[in-house]
Amino acid sequence: MTGYDPKRPRLVTGDDEPAPVEAMLEPEVPEPPAPTDAPVEPAPVEPAPVEPAPVEPAPVEPAPERHLRPVPAGSSDVPVAGRPAEPTANRAVVAVVATVAGAAALLALIVLLRRRRRSSSD
């Protein structure tokens, strides 16, 4: 970001002014003034009795029947990528790792058998 300078002084707005982004997102809407002629008292509200509604099971509708037809592969305008190449590199790595692991296991068995023979012959 060649145009960005972190040491460049920024525009400082006063506390009573909103930031430029907030001014764009939330424009100030003046509230209508309250009438000063008569005091406003809220009317008492009595809660209405709540009667539970009977619960009925929702009707189960069968799935709509769909009429699908096969589309020939050459009739689409959308380009379709071909099948990816076989992952032969992954197979080769697995084969090499399996061979090395097998050889290491065989070598460990041979060493253990030789030690056992030497210890039993002493």
Q: Where are the domains of the chain?
A: 93-122
Question: Does residue 60 contact residue 52 with C-beta atoms inside 8 Å?
Answer: no
Measured from the Cβ of residue 45, the count of other Cβ atoms closer than 10 Å reads: 6
pLDDT over 70, % of the chain:
69
61-81 average pLDDT score? 73
Q: What pLDDT, on a 0 to 100 scale, did the predictor assign at position 78?
A: 75
Answer whether residue 84 shows pLDDT above 90.
Answer: no
Q: What pLDDT, on a 0 to 100 scale, did the predictor assign at position 39?
A: 64
The mean pLDDT of the chain is: 77
Tell me how far apart the alpha carbons of residues 105 and 111 are, in angstroms, rounded to a whole number.
Answer: 10
